[in-house]
């Protein structure tokens, strides 16, 4: 009888551990559109996806051009300095918040194109929305001492061609000290830290302090390195940084990657990563400022 009782207790304990583990990996609840202006709201961010992900937007298509024009308009309305960068059929969009005391920059990046087979609401409409909502939250807060650049690459689905064009030819690339990439290999789940750059011990320690919502997995590192702008473009070129991704419900690159199947908590989780890291690099929300040595003395110019 005692053996049966012990087995039952072990079973209950294992079940409890499993439930806690699952709970810890679930993305946080989304914030409403009424959230304070300085916070990231998935319900505000999804409105951008409703506009750009009505249909597929492969590079060179009219839908791709419409998405690019929309992104430009939003950035300009927020007061960012904006540019486009054309390279053959592709055209990147770049915006920046100029720092008050330094031209050193953190770059946040996502790709604006989708495959022809689906509207790309999550891959990578979610990344586009994360950048736009993060930009809005940042300009609603205190001025930033250092620069934040927002890069919306084109033709990621063709092999990170837009990212490589930015690295090779855009003058703002010379100011970048840290890259934070957002992509989606799935339609839901937590926003996972999928990969970092080499010699990442210091980066991980900073991330642990900056981001209370961090979830990571080394199991997906190889996929992230080979299939995203961060891994295939920036990391290969020697930039330091992080990549965040979604990996549950792998219906990307299909018609099912639509606004109806987009997961708001997953969008919120990615947004927390973006805004937490931007504020950590450039000073707390109370207006006090970290010194440049708090981040940038660890990285050489690429």
C-alpha torsion sign, points 232, 236, 239, 243: positive
**How is domain 2-298 classified at the CATH fold level?**
Aminopeptidase (3.40.630)
Angle (CA) 189 192 198, round 5° = 165
Look at residues 160, 92, 127 and name the one whose alpha carbon lies nearest to residue 257: 127
Residue 15 reports pLDDT greater than 50: no
pLDDT for residue 225: 59
Beta bridge partners of 125: none
pLDDT for residue 281: 59
pLDDT in tens, 102-118: 889 999 999 999 999 99
Backbone angles phi and psi of 112, in degrees to 5: -90, -15
Q: How many CB atoms lie within 10 A of CB 93?
A: 25
Place of tokens 């840290």: 178
**Of all residues in the chain, what percent carry a pLDDT higher than 70?**
81
pLDDT in tens, 238-267: 999 999 999 999 999 999 999 999 999 999
Contact 106, 149 (CB under 8 A): yes
Q: How many CB atoms lie within 10 A of CB 22?
A: 9
Enclosing H/E stretch for 58? none
Contact 160, 232 (CB under 8 A): yes
pLDDT band at 25 (very low <50, low <70, confident <90, very high): low
pLDDT in tens, 164-200: 999 999 999 999 999 999 999 999 999 999 988 887 7
Residue 248 is classified by DSSP as: B
Place of tokens 């709970």: 23
Domain parsing of the chain, residue ranges: 2-298
Q: Please list, in sequence order, all residues whose beta carbon lies within 8 angstroms of the beta carbon of residue 34, skipping any fewer than 6 positions away.
A: none
Q: Is the peptide bond before 124 cis (omega within 30 degrees of 0)?
A: yes
């Amino acid at each position: 009888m005692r053996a049966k009782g012990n087995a039952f207790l072990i079973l209950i304990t294992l079940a409890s551990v499993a439930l806690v583990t699952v709970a810890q990996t679930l993305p946080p609840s989304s914030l409403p559109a009424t959230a304070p202006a300085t916070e990231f709201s998935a319900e505000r961010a999804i409105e951008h996806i409703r506009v750009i992900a009505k249909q597929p937007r492969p590079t060179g298509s009219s839908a791709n051009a419409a998405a690019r024009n929309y992104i430009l308009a939003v950035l300009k309305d927020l007061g960012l300095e904006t540019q486009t960068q054309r390279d053959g059929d592709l055209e990147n969009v770049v915006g920046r918040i100029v720092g008050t005391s330094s031209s050193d920059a953190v770059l946040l990046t996502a790709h604006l194109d989708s495959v022809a087979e689906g509207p790309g609401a999550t891959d990578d409409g979610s990344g586009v929305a994360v950048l736009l909502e993060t930009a809005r939250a940042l300009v609603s807060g205190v001025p930033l001492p250092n620069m934040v650049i927002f890069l919306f690459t084109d033709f990621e689905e063709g092999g990170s061609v837009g990212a490589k064009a930015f690295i090779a030819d855009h003058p703002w690339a010379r100011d970048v000290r840290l890259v934070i990439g957002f992509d989606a290999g799935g339609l839901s789940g937590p926003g996972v830290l999928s990969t970092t750059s080499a010699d990442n011990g210091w980066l991980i320690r900073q991330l642990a302090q900056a981001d209370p919502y961090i979830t990571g997995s080394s199991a997906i590192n190889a996929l992230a390195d080979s299939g995203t702008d961060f891994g295939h473009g920036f990391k290969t070129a020697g930039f330091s940084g992080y990549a965040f991704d979604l990996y549950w419900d792998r219906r990307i690159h299909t018609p099912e990657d639509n606004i109806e199947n987009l997961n708001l908590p997953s969008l919120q989780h990615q947004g927390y990563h973006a805004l937490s890291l931007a504020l950590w690099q450039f000073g707390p929300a109370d207006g006090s400022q970290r010194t440049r040595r708090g981040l940038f003395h660890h990285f050489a110019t690429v």
